[in-house]
Structure 1
């Protein structure tokens, strides 16, 4: 072991000691998925598999990428796909990135001009933070999660700076809490402060809303009819669409600007044609309306989960999306619940600090189009049973009350 390896091992040992070590795990076969972001169940879909194999068989392009988008990685195939995706989401233009992280970091590191201001929901994705950190923005100001009054308080301070652009960064469905942003209220605020749309711009991350919300799964922005009120949107393909990559939707000028300045796009080998083919097939299935019954099924099992679960007050996240969560106080507590459910045959994962703030640790539960009512009932019964076992030292405090945290 080299001296550097010894330093790295010492750092890892510190993380192990405080029970915050991260590990790669392989889910056992035969278990029931209540963890992945495969909200529509398309990763299991024979229909998507058949369309994908047929597309690969019929396409005249090679399978690999051969280079970055600006060198040899571009093609008529991807430009046609971007045009179709833009039409589907009712946007002027689209630009595909290798991942949602690349798309967000590329957008937020380049879009703000020197001295501009970014106001962001405190729970936005890490990729947004990465982009903001590298940006030329003079101020990066968080507001309390989905708190319109707090956002208004900050806007009151920055609106007088009329010569600066102000960007509001939010998600539609938040990845850890599962709640939906008050998007219409945010749009109304921007219209109040910038009635001529001269300096205030809304940027929306639809990563967890894609496929689940809106007609044919177009997202929350489409469901609310706010396409013209959002400057830029991000949709990922790696969750409900069972693919990989992401797309930025916006104006043709924004697309050209990102091609010229977004370093993750410029300096990365582009995704292979096989990935583009899978994205194309996923959108074909969305556009055909074949996923709408799955969206309806999701609503049913989400309601069933929330109606039948029995938890201490403040323990269940306030979410109407497929992302649900049981909040306990401390990494040890959430690991105990997750381990209990894993042994019962359910794939769920503990989300520990520092991924979420200390005191807000939770077992994250995702419901999917491939989950049945019977599976949901079985999961709920197991969770209820865990909390009914009053002699469980992880769950119960010395005062014999549930150790739980209200968000």
Structure 2
């Protein structure tokens, strides 16, 4: 049998020629400025042991869910964990999905209906875009964080339409490739005024913002003003899976119509126990305070080494230095790696052409010395 079809071979060759071919990396012992493990929970042995202890105390000895949640997989830990999440995040209901990707494609492929409209930020996550493409609704992007362009497009479409469409507006509380945030209060007010349904992805805000890491919407006391929140457990929580918060009716609808929920095996009990252990830790941890301190130190150091103009403004754990060209950004990332720091280059087409960047992910366990050294190194490389 021959290898790949010629069309697929050409696509791979095109990627290679543009210096954008992806390859799976090997694990390293470099200083971590690349992972989403913002609080260090993913590698904390105490939390690993706590998850195991939950299973022991509940006499749970099964390795898998045994089926989808609608068949045999809705084990007791699901019920307990969703109840815990509902209380922690001040929500009416919670529905756990196997991943953030599953949550986003499940929601956006099933909730907006034919004839409805979806407006989405141009920098929205790929999983949301994929879900929107699976929907029967019409979709339109608006300029990043630009509420005025959103308003113009909405009013234009409504003036042309003779029927009353449901309108969904989608944004993120922290954008994964820029690290910045929209004015969420303005988006809430806009959606209330124009009777739109607001959906906010909080993947990179959970565990970083708000009291005990509740997220940016709760920090701003806006959680009751949105139609749906999507939080994930694979970033600051250090585990896996995601949850959609909304009304009880929305949960019932997703259970009945979200295909990525219906037609997949549930998460194993160990994953749910891990999520419980992580949330228990959030209630007492000092790691969020340490992370916030590192974010402020990083921003101050940018000024002292004259790098601030190259960085996208951010108050989150994600900070991006824009360096044009895949070859340039990969070369600088390699030089930093040779000095034992793991900082990932983000290439086009993942980001727009000309907006290639180094993405620094900050953690509670990064030291001041590590932050200062990596930025001083970067300053020497970009000045060449």
What range describes the TM-score normalised by the shorter chain of this pair?
A: over 0.9
2 CA distance for matches of 1:328 and 1:35? Answer: 17
- How far does residue 19 in structure 1 lie from its aligned partner after superposition? 1.3
2 CA distance for matches of 1:41 and 1:142? Answer: 35
- How far does residue 101 in structure 1 lie from its aligned partner after superposition? 0.3
2 CA distance for matches of 1:305 and 1:104? Answer: 36
* Residue 238 of structure 2 corresponds to residue 251 of structure 1: no
* Residue 351 of structure 2 corresponds to residue 356 of structure 1: yes
- How far does residue 46 in structure 1 lie from its aligned partner after superposition? 3.6
2 CA distance for matches of 1:258 and 1:384? Answer: 49
Q: Which residue of 2 aligns with 1:73?
A: 73
Question: Which deviates the most, 304-313 or 211-220?
Answer: 304-313
Task: Report the CA distance shift for 1:308/1:26 in structure 2 as closer, same or farther (over 3 A).
Answer: farther
- Please state whether the residue corresponding to 1:141 is helix, strand or coil: strand
1 CA distance for matches of 2:41 and 2:293? Answer: 14
Question: Which deviates the most, 157-166 or 249-258?
Answer: 157-166
- How far does residue 312 in structure 1 lie from its aligned partner after superposition? 7.6
Q: Which residue of 2 aligns with 1:382?
A: 377
Unaligned segments of structure 2, at least 5 residues: none
Q: Which runs of 4+ in 1 moved over 6 A?
A: none
2 CA distance for matches of 1:312 and 1:91? Answer: 38
- Please state whether the residue corresponding to 2:96 is helix, strand or coil: strand
- How far does residue 170 in structure 1 lie from its aligned partner after superposition? 0.3
Q: Which residue of 2 aligns with 1:33?
A: 32
1 CA distance for matches of 2:4 and 2:224? Answer: 53
Conserved? CA contact 1:212–1:240, under 8 Å: yes
2 CA distance for matches of 1:178 and 1:167? Answer: 23
User: Which of residues 334, 343, 353 is equivalent to 2:338?
Assistant: 343
* Residue 51 of structure 2 corresponds to residue 52 of structure 1: yes
Higher relative contact order (CA 8 A, sep 6+): 2
Q: Which residue of 2 aligns with 1:267?
A: 263
Question: Which deviates the most, 252-261 or 291-300?
Answer: 291-300
Q: Which residue of 1 aligns with 2:124?
A: 124
Conserved? CA contact 1:103–1:264, under 8 Å: yes
- Please state whether the residue corresponding to 1:118 is helix, strand or coil: strand
2 CA distance for matches of 1:50 and 1:304? Answer: 37
State how 1:213-292 maps to structure 2 within 5 Å: 213-292=209-288
1 CA distance for matches of 2:157 and 2:24? Answer: 43
- How far does residue 295 in structure 1 lie from its aligned partner after superposition? 4.2
Question: Which deviates the most, 67-76 or 48-57?
Answer: 48-57
2 CA distance for matches of 1:54 and 1:110? Answer: 38
- How far does residue 372 in structure 1 lie from its aligned partner after superposition? 0.8
Unaligned segments of structure 1, at least 5 residues: 195-199, 391-407
Task: Report the CA distance shift for 1:323/1:309 in structure 2 as closer, same or farther (over 3 A).
Answer: farther
Task: Report the CA distance shift for 1:334/1:206 in structure 2 as closer, same or farther (over 3 A).
Answer: same
Question: Which deviates the most, 372-381 or 9-18?
Answer: 9-18
2 CA distance for matches of 1:299 and 1:34? Answer: 12
TM-score by length of 1: 0.89
State how 1:127-276 maps to structure 2 within 5 Å: 127-137=127-137, 139-159=138-158, 163-194=164-195, 200-276=196-272
- How far does residue 57 in structure 1 lie from its aligned partner after superposition? 2.9
Task: Report the CA distance shift for 1:39/1:82 in structure 2 as closer, same or farther (over 3 A).
Answer: same
Question: Which deviates the most, 346-355 or 292-301?
Answer: 292-301
- How far does residue 153 in structure 1 lie from its aligned partner after superposition? 1.1
- How far does residue 94 in structure 1 lie from its aligned partner after superposition? 0.3
1 CA distance for matches of 2:222 and 2:319? Answer: 26
Q: Which residue of 2 aligns with 1:329?
A: 324
- How far does residue 3 in structure 1 lie from its aligned partner after superposition? 5.3
- Please state whether the residue corresponding to 2:115 is helix, strand or coil: coil
Task: Report the CA distance shift for 1:17/1:156 in structure 2 as closer, same or farther (over 3 A).
Answer: same
Question: Deviations 1:334-383 (Å, cap 9, x if unpaired)?
Answer: 00110111001000111110000000000111110110111101111111
2 CA distance for matches of 1:188 and 1:11? Answer: 44
